[in-house]
Amino acid sequence: MTKLLEHFGMDVQAMTSNDWLGVFFVLVAALGMVLTYVMVFRPSNKKQFEVQSRMALDDDDPTKLGDKR
């Protein structure tokens, strides 16, 4: 187990500002992906995404976004 911790361990004292920016952006990107997946796969949003999936193929009116209410 200690060999595994040595492999994945990091020296926080030796990290530069670029290293910290990299960690920050990786965490923000991972959080954004998780939030996107939750939003897309939520059953209550299915109808909204189904309407938008046909928007690119709709040649009638390019300004129309979604169904009429």
Distances from the Cα of 66 to the Cαs of 8, 44, 50, 59, in angstroms? 48, 16, 9, 13
Q: Is 64 exposed, middle or buried (0-12, 13-18, 19+ CB in 10 A)?
A: exposed
Give pTM, 2 decimals. 0.59
Dihedral sign for Cα atoms in the order 55, 61, 62, 67? negative
Q: For 39-68, write each residue's pLDDT tens digit.
A: 888 989 888 888 888 777 766 665 666 655
**Mean pLDDT score of the chain:** 83
Would the pLDDT of 34 be above 90?
yes
Domain spans, the chain:
33-58
